[in-house]
Amino acid sequence: MEVRLHDFQLPLRHPFTIARGTTTVQHSLVVELRQNGHCGWGEAPITQFYDATAERIREGLETVRSMLEQWTLGEPAALWDACLPALAENRFTLGAIDGAAHDLWGKLNGQPISTLWGTDPAAAPPSSYTIGMDTPNKMIAKLEEMPGWPVYKIKLGTADDLAVARALRERTDAPLRVDANCGWTAANAASLAVELPALGVEFIEQPLPPDDHTAQKQLFQDSPLPLFADESCVVEEDVDACADRFHGINIKLCKCGGLTPARRMVDRARELNLQVMVGCMTESTVGISAAAQLAPLVDFADLDGAVLLARDIATGARVHAGGIDLPETPGLGLTLI
């Protein structure tokens, strides 16, 4: 295979704030794999929280470049296994390679990934639309800019969280989901978990820091709302530890290393009676098109990453007003603009 790396700066529609900070431009690297006149694409969004810097992603790709250039692609899982020893601590790079491999695999076989996997795109649940932390008035404005979505995810983590949730509830009848991104204390989480059900909140995502195991286990036992792990469920080895602390997990391809381990995470979560959500970072349609392949296999989806952008870099899977449309073209259906 030929291997190339592309560097993109993706401007956001609005400043995007979560409990850890604010982003106005998303830096992403896109891996391109070429073989027999076909090319596949996979994305690695730069994310400081996971130490996924541009330098680390570039270095990671260089450690496996020679192997990739000598590789003839068959099943993507074989390539993932071959890359893992060098990239076990660099999952964002591994996920981008795996995404590109799946896209290329489908194109080499002339089939969409959904066909090769035997999944039904129509079974995908609707995606939420995410509203970043801001003043109540600005969060209301962001909601009203995107009317008609079947569910909204709101980022919380300030002293005004309850007032924000109440203000948004007054402006929409759609269900709400809350994501604290580790930003709550145990006491705050326990209090809000009691208040939020009356506001039509479906579940709470990652209320506490990942290392606060005792408090998270107690919250799991007491919470009237389901709790979903995000930062507490990074790789597939984390799934088992979530079984007595969360009601569900949020799988993100860049965290776990791509579609190959993500499918195993879905299977293991089902064995443990955990619900499953597929999520995303702020990503272009390259990353979203890979993550969307999991949608028919899960209970919930949060795949609005490309919708948050002011300008995209690719066409492929489309998320519009909550609907997830998987292309019928080969691979992930990706074309770079």
What is the per-residue pLDDT for 19?
Answer: 84
Nearest by Cα to 44 from 34, 63, 58, 25: 58
Cα separation of 289 and 210, whole Å? 28
What is the per-residue pLDDT for 251?
Answer: 98
Residue boundaries of the structural domains of the chain? 2-114, 118-336
Q: Are 317 and 332 in contact (CB under 8 A)?
A: yes
Cα separation of 326 and 295, whole Å? 10
Write down the CATH number for the domain with range 118-336: 3.20.20.120
Tell me, letter by letter, the H, E, C secondary structure of 63-103.
HHHHHHHCCCCCCHHHHHHHHHHHHCCCHHHHHHHHHHHHH
What is the tens place of the pLDDT at every residue in 259-280? Answer: 999 999 999 999 999 999 999 9
What is the per-residue pLDDT for 47?
Answer: 95
Long-range contacts of 184-189 (CB under 8 A, 24+ apart): 184/156, 184/157, 184/208, 186/212, 186/215, 186/218, 186/219, 188/161, 189/215, 189/219, 189/223
Tokens (6 digits) for 257: 């290393």
Tokens (6 digits) for 68: 């990739």
Are 2-114 and 118-336 the same fold in CATH? Answer: no
Tokens (6 digits) for 291: 């993550």
The ranges of the chain with pLDDT < 70 are none
Whether the model pTM is above 0.95: yes
39: left (phi over 0), alpha (psi -120 to 50) or beta: beta
CATH topology (fold) of 2-114: Enolase-like; domain 1 (3.30.390)
